[in-house]
Amino acid sequence: MLTWKKIINFSIKGNPIPDKRVEKTVAEWKAQLTPEQFRITRLKGTERPHSGALCSIHEAGKYNCVCCNTPLFDSTIKFESGTGWPSFTQPITENAIKYERDTAFGMVRVEVMCNTCDAHLGHVFPDGPEPSGLRYCINSESMQLEKVL
């Protein structure tokens, strides 16, 4: 199980090695993604709170990266944080997520990205529920739900 200490360590000393890498040009990403998906995932944008389609959905399945389809989170670790963004306590695998220190807007946070394609997903905070105490606060536009049938 990932802990806040381990996440900080990844953001300082380097991230886990992904299973694969997906790299595309800006033109290729723009052709594949909607303008809003491109703004959020490739330009590090965010969606307004409570506006994302996946915020209040709690169906069984996997939440995959909208850019490269890498599984990021499982519905079993999704929780209602009240923040207005889908929230999770752990990634699906330790190497699914990449972590970087983010000092934008006068704050110090930890940005989370897809470790396969570097898509911006959101941020992680140490104020989630036990046992991990983590809250991955993720933009709906950066993921797609692969429902379990």
Q: Which pLDDT tens digit goes with each residue over 41-98?
A: 999 999 999 999 999 888 999 999 999 999 999 999 999 999 999 999 999 999 999 9
Tokens coding 122: 């959101």
The answer to whether residue 114 is catalytic is no
Q: Which residue, among 57, 44, 48, 51, has the nearest Cα to 146 in the 3D structure?
A: 57
CATH code for the domain defined by 4-147: 2.170.150.20
Tell me the per-residue pLDDT of 11-48, one tens digit each, with 9 for 90 and over: 999 999 999 999 999 999 999 999 999 999 999 999 99
Active-site residue identified among 55, 114, 117, 137 = 137
Query: How confident is residue 102, by pLDDT bands cut at 50, 70 and 90?
Result: confident
Cα 141 from Cα 126, distance rounded (Å): 23
According to the model, what pLDDT value does residue 28 have?
98
3-state secondary structure of 105: helix
Global pTM reads 0.94
